[in-house]
Amino acid sequence: MRLCENIENERKAELMNVELKPSCKEEIEKLDILYEAACKFFKSIDPDPHGTPPEKCITRGCLTPNGVFVNYRILSIYVENEFIGYCDFYMGYPDDKTVYISFIYVSESYRKKGYAGQVVNTLIRQFSEENYEKVRLTVSL
């Protein structure tokens, strides 16, 4: 039953207009609210979570070892023009054919509706079009 429910929720999400936009300085306040919620959530799992504040992500990136800013992206997630979350990823880590999705966070009121899954699927399609062969994803349940 749970699988069917998840599939149905994902179908509902696909019907919604999920849009990914490059995060910008004008969104810092919204991003910070979600970042604080994420920190609180992850502290329940790990007493010393290693997060990067959104402003730093936008201005300098949350870089991998030996990473360069040009390969880093932080994207805001919108549904019907409503900001619901953000994600970030690094292209070319740990090798040239891999993209590392390091963070996806969706506002609590939008969870369990298939949006994060839709974001992942959208990103994978985009990465495939850009000739990346592998995607790595950090997951916390």
Block means of pLDDT (10 residues each) for the chain, 141 residues, are 44 66 94 88 67 86 87 94 94 94 91 91 93 87 58
The predicted-structure confidence for 68-99, as pLDDT tens digits, reads as follows 999 999 999 999 999 999 999 999 999 999 99
Residue-range domains of the chain with CATH: 2-137 (3.40.630.30)
Contact 91, 101 (CB under 8 A): no
List C-alpha distances in Å: 136 to 31, 33, 90, 97, 124: 23, 26, 10, 11, 10
pTM, full prediction: 0.81
Percent of the chain with pLDDT over 90: 55
